[in-house]
Amino acid sequence: MGFLDALLGKSRLPKPKPDKLFAMSTAYVTLNTNLNLKSEGAGICFKPIEASRFQNTELEISQLLAQSCKETNTLYKLRKDSYGYLWVILHDPDFEDLVSTLYMVSETLVEHDFGEQLLCAVFKFKDESEVYWIYNFKQAAFYPFVPKGKHRDLSYEFRLRSIMEKELPIEKEVDRWYPLWDIPL
C-alpha cells in the first residue's frame, strides 16, 4: 500500500496466491484413504466484470478449458450463481486433472490482471455427508465446510482441520471460514 493510499484511507486487496492449490493433490491421498472421502468434482469461483478486456479473458478461459478438458477427458461447465459470481465446474476421475485445471483458470485470470476477481476454489468430497474444502486465494489457505441442512457441522470441520493441518495450509482464523451455501457443484 502506498503512502497516498494510506493517507486517503484506501486499502488494496491482497494479491491472489494460486500456487498453494497444489497442496490438495498430496492431501487427497489422506482424504481418500484415511477419511474415506471420495472426490465429487471441483470448481473455481470469480466475479465477472463488465469490461471488454475481461470478456476477452473469459473467452480465452473457455477456449483453454475446451482444449485442455478434451485432452484430459475432464467435464466442465460454466454457471452463474445467485450472487452473480461465475463458476467453472469440473468433474474428472483423475484428481490431479482437477487441480491442474483449476490452477490454469486462476493463472489465466492473474496473468490478465484480474486476480482480484478470484474468490475461491472448491473441492467437493462425499462420505456420509458432503464435505467441501475451500481454498481462499487471498489468504492462500484452505478450510473445511460441512453443510448439515441449514447449519454447519462445526465439530466435523474442526476434526477435519486437526487431521489435515499437517498436509494443507489451513486458515488459522476460524472467523475466515466463510460458509458457501448452494455451491453449484
Q: Which residue has the higher pLDDT, 86 or 13?
A: 86
Residue 8, domain member (yes or no) = no
pLDDT greater than 60 at residue 2: no
How far apart, in whole angstroms, are the C-alpha atoms of residue 130 and residue 37?
Answer: 9
Instruction: Write out 124-176 in H/E/C secondary structure.
Output: EEECCCEEEEEEECCCCEEEEECEECCEECHHHHHHHHHHHCCCCCECCCHHH
Residue 1 lies in a domain: no
Asked, for residue 72, whether it belongs to a domain, the answer is yes
% of the chain at pLDDT higher than 70: 90
Query: Which residue in this structure is represented by grid cell 455451491?
Result: 183
136 by Cβ neighbours in 10 Å (0-12 / 13-18 / 19+) ranks as buried
pLDDT of residue 54: 79
Confidence (pLDDT) at 55:
83
Q: In what order do the strands lie in the sheet with 75-80?
A: 75-80, 86-91, 38-46, 118-126, 130-136, 141-145
Q: Does residue 14 register a pLDDT over 60?
A: no
Do residues 140 and 106 touch, judged by C-beta distance below 8 A?
A: no
Q: How far apart are CA 66 and CA 60, in angstroms?
A: 10
Average of per-residue pLDDT values in the chain: 88
Q: Beta 147-148 vs 151-152: how paired, if at all?
A: antiparallel
Answer whether residue 6 is part of any domain.
Answer: no
Give me the percent of the chain exceeding a pLDDT of 90. Answer: 58
Residue 136, all three cell numbers = 481462499
Model confidence band, residue 10 (pLDDT cutoffs 50, 70, 90):
low
- For residue range 126-185, list pLDDT tens digits in order: 988 999 999 999 999 999 999 998 999 999 999 999 999 999 999 999 999 999 998 998
Residue 103 lies in a domain: yes
**Of 160, 184, 183, residue with least CA distance to 174:** 160
Predicted model pTM = 0.88
- CATH number at 50 reads 3.30.70.600
Under DSSP, the state recorded for 20 is G
Write down the pLDDT at residue 70.
85
What local confidence, expressed as pLDDT, does residue 141 receive? Answer: 95
Residue 69 belongs to what domain range?
Answer: 13-176
Whether residue 143 is contained in a domain is answered as yes
Residue indicated by cell numbers 482441520: 161
pLDDT in tens, 22-79: 999 999 999 999 999 999 999 999 988 887 887 888 888 888 888 888 888 899 999 9
In a domain, 5, yes or no: no
3 belongs to a structural domain: no
Question: In the chain, how many domains are there?
Answer: 1
